[in-house]
Amino acid sequence: MRSIAIRLQELDDDELEDFVDIWLHNRSALYYRTERLGKTSDKGRDVVGFVTDQLHEGDWDLYQCKRKTRGSKLGVGEALKELGKVFYHHLKGEYATLPRKYVFVSPRGITGPLQTLLLNKEKLRTALVDQWDETCRTGITRNEEVPLSNVIRTVIDAYDFTRITYLTGTLLAKETDAGPALSKVLNLVPDEAPEAEAPETVCEVEMVYLDQLREIYGETSGLAFTTINDVLAHPVHAGHLQLQRTRFFEAAAFDRFHRDNTAPGAMETFKKDIFHTVIEVYRESHPSRLDRVNAVMKHIGMTQVSLLGRMSRPPVRQGMCHHLATDGRLRWTR
């Protein structure tokens, strides 16, 4: 199977910008808003992450996507031209502040000379000034030549060039929070979600479905179980309840893993598939409500439901029914 880095190299321009946009969206803790701006008049911006609601009047990060052609890497000339655009459009008033961080996203890599400049920031600044006429004067805009004025030179001298960095396909593939973007754009299915066990102490997050089961156990045994611990002390129902708790946390681990590593919406589709798989069995007549729970568990345990083509394990599917009971789509006590 081809590596992720190679598949990233094969993305076209739109797909690469989509990938970066989805990746940044998944990093929502870092940004107030992310936006894809890449087009003919993007004024040097492909995808941006705004740190606050001040948008371009506050801190923002710029991700400049450079797909390049097959076998080609991003070189010094094109990189300097893109940097020149940012300083030019900033001075034109298109954005009040310069980017907090500037990232070249080049899946096919960068040339050796450009890498040298990007790893030696003062050399990068010097190259931009020295090669301005060659790379920027006629390359920034089609409508006019842009000579290196004293004003532009002052802004370049004041800017912190340590903010400028790069990501190749190999580096992108290592980003731990790029899973949803890889899943959405490359149709990649992540590895198996981790298994889980129920904690010894009952947690608040599981109380909705547990209270439903507590009522059902009381109805079945003719005992008034006041707390979940009462059920866990019962010689028959304790084992059954503990099994349901394990399934619930198996599903919770599965949910967290795939929300972090698969395309947006994939988990909700999986839950809907679980619901439609069990709803007929759920609605059938059963001798008791506990028999209904067991019938649903047996049915979903034997029926495969996949997420993005990968089959899920039985305890995950069974535990997801308890999540549906928690959010109200299924109620064990109806």
Same domain, 148 and 223: no
Domain edge (last residue) among 127, 159, 186? 186
Tell me, yes or no, whether 161 and 98 share the same domain: yes
Tens digit of each residue's pLDDT (9 = 90 or more) over 105-117 = 888 889 999 999 9
* Averaged pLDDT, 21-30: 78
Last residue of a domain, one of 186, 220, 236: 186
Question: Quick one: 222 and 262 in the same domain?
Answer: yes
Are residue 174 and residue 234 in the same domain, yes or no?
no
Distance CA 208, CA 326 (A): 5
Give pLDDT, residue 181.
67
Q: Is 222 within 8 Å of 234 (Cβ atoms)?
A: no
Angle of helix 237-261 relative to helix 266-283, nearest 10 degrees, comes to: 150
Q: How far is 54 from 329, CA to CA, in rounded Å?
A: 40
Same domain, 118 and 13: yes
Question: Quick check: is 45 in a domain?
Answer: yes
Measured CA to CA, the distance from residue 152 to residue 271 in angstroms comes to 55
Question: What residues have CB less than 8 Å from 212, skipping those under 6 apart?
Answer: 325, 331, 332, 333
116's CB contacts (< 8 A; 6+ apart) are 123
How far, in Å, CA of 121 to CA of 203, rounded?
A: 51
pLDDT at 170: 83
Whether 212 is in a domain gets the answer yes
Gap between the Cα atoms of 22 and 178, Å rounded? 8
Residues 162 and 250 in one domain: no
Asked if residues 164 and 118 have their Cβ atoms less than 8 Å apart, the reply is: yes
What total number of domains does the chain contain? Answer: 2
The answer to whether residue 196 is domain-embedded is: no
CB 76 within 8 A of CB 127: yes
Q: Which of 153, 186, 219 is the last residue of a domain?
A: 186
Based on the fold, state whether residues 182 and 209 are members of the same structural domain: no
Predicted local confidence at residue 1, as pLDDT? 36
* Other beta carbons less than 10 A from residue 187's beta carbon: 11
In angstroms, the CA 171 to CA 302 distance is 41
* Structural domain that includes position 248: 204-327
Same domain, 135 and 257: no
Do 164 and 285 lie in one domain? The reply is: no
Cα 280 to Cα 284, 285, 296, 300, distances in angstroms: 6, 10, 9, 11
332 assigned to some structural domain: no
C-alpha dihedral over 229, 232, 235, 238, to 10 degrees? 160
CA distance 43 to 27: 24
Q: Which helix (H) or strand (E) covers residue 273, if one does?
A: helix 266-283
Give yes or no for residue 2 having a pLDDT over 70.
Answer: no
* Mean pLDDT computed over 88-108: 93
Is 334 domain-assigned?
A: no
- Give the mean pLDDT of 122-130: 96
- Residues 247 and 319 reside in one and the same domain: yes
Q: What is the pLDDT of residues 143-181, one digit of tens each?
A: 889 999 999 999 999 999 999 999 888 887 777 666 666
Decide if 198 is inside a domain: no
How far apart are the C-alpha atoms of 245 and 173, rounded to whole Å?
36
- Both 47 and 129 in one domain: the answer is yes
One domain, residues 220 and 182: no
Q: Decide if 153 is inside a domain.
A: yes
pTM of the model: 0.59
DSSP code, position 205 = G
Q: Which of 121, 120, 110, 260 is nearest to 170 (CA)?
A: 110
Does residue 145 lie within any of the structural domains?
Answer: yes
Query: What mean pLDDT, rounded, does the chain reach?
Result: 88
Using 50, 70 and 90 to split pLDDT, how confident is the model at 216? very high
Arithmetic mean of pLDDT, 296-312: 88
| Amino acid at site 79 | A
Distance of CA 87 to the CA centre of its chain: 31
- Residue 65's alpha-carbon distances to 17, 34, 37, in angstroms, are 6, 15, 11
